[in-house]
A and B are shown apart, each in its own frame.
Chain A
Amino acid sequence: SQQGEEDPQALSIQEGENATMNCSYKTSINNLQWYRQNSGRGLVHLILIRSNEREKHSGRLRVTLDTSKKSSSLLITASRAADTASYFCATADPTSGTYKYIFGTGTRLKVLA
């Protein structure tokens, strides 16, 4: 079963706009990660946020975490056509094996040039 659910399932925006994706998860966590998957490729790690952090930045990426709501959001600012990909959140339930990561359903982002 999926640990995380991303929302929306698909998002289409114009180049230069911001893209926001949300992730909800079910259990307690030590950290939450976001990954990107380009078509036909493996997933690539983007950013990790720990449970005691509320916000984290990396370049054009901004991640927030609300453990009380069991949710996280990924914001990509000033999007580019190269950002077109699927984005997944991943969490591990510390009670079932701290390092066992379960992925959400993903958000398909399309950035139009």
Chain B
Amino acid sequence: DARVTQTPRHKVTEMGQEVTMRCQPILGHNTVFWYRQTMMQGLELLAYFRNRAPLDDSGMPKDRFSAEMPDATLATLKIQPSEPRDSAVYFCASGLAAGAGANVLTFGAGSRLTVL
């Protein structure tokens, strides 16, 4: 089965350090999403790409977060500098946007980030 691959699966870092999370979407999918999941906020949409172009990053703290798709096989989410409140599970999902707004998402296993 095709899958979305995320690395690292777990990351513990100290406040102020740079964190980079990577995602390999499913080949052929044209949309990529980054979500953050916490107990308090649930699943928050951070960034959304279609055909590698960033379409929406309104949910992302701009001063410290950045998301890119350098090519069709790689999406990155970077936090610099990291803060304890960034501790969460970060999910990448990809999908094939088709007609009538249908876009079934396949999620990666997530990257669990702990910032001390």
Contacts and interface: CB of A to CB of B under 8 A. Distances in A.
Interface of A: 2, 29-31, 33, 35, 41-45, 48, 50, 88, 90, 92, 94, 96-106
Interface of B: 4, 31, 33, 35, 42-43, 45, 48, 50, 55-56, 91, 93, 95, 97, 100-110
B101 A45 contact: no
A101 B103 contact: yes
Contacts of A35: 105, 107
A43 B35 CA distance: 11
Contact of B107 (A29, A44, A96, A105): A44
A74 to B, nearest CB: 16
Q: Is the interface of B mostly helix, strand, loop or mixed?
A: strand
Contacts of A97: 48, 55-56
Contacts of A106: 42-43
A45 B35 CA distance: 15
A94 B104 CA distance: 15
Contact of B43 (A33, A98, A99, A103): A103
A106 B37 CA distance: 11
B9 to A, nearest CB: 10
Contacts of A99: 31, 48, 50, 95, 97, 101, 103
A50 B103 CA distance: 11
A101 B109 contact: no
B101 A105 contact: no
A48 B104 contact: yes
A43 B55 contact: no
Given A98-B103, A102-B45, 14 more contacts: A31-B101, A35-B107, A41-B110, A42-B93, A43-B91, A45-B106, A88-B43, A98-B101, A99-B48, A99-B101, A100-B33, A100-B56, A103-B45, A104-B42
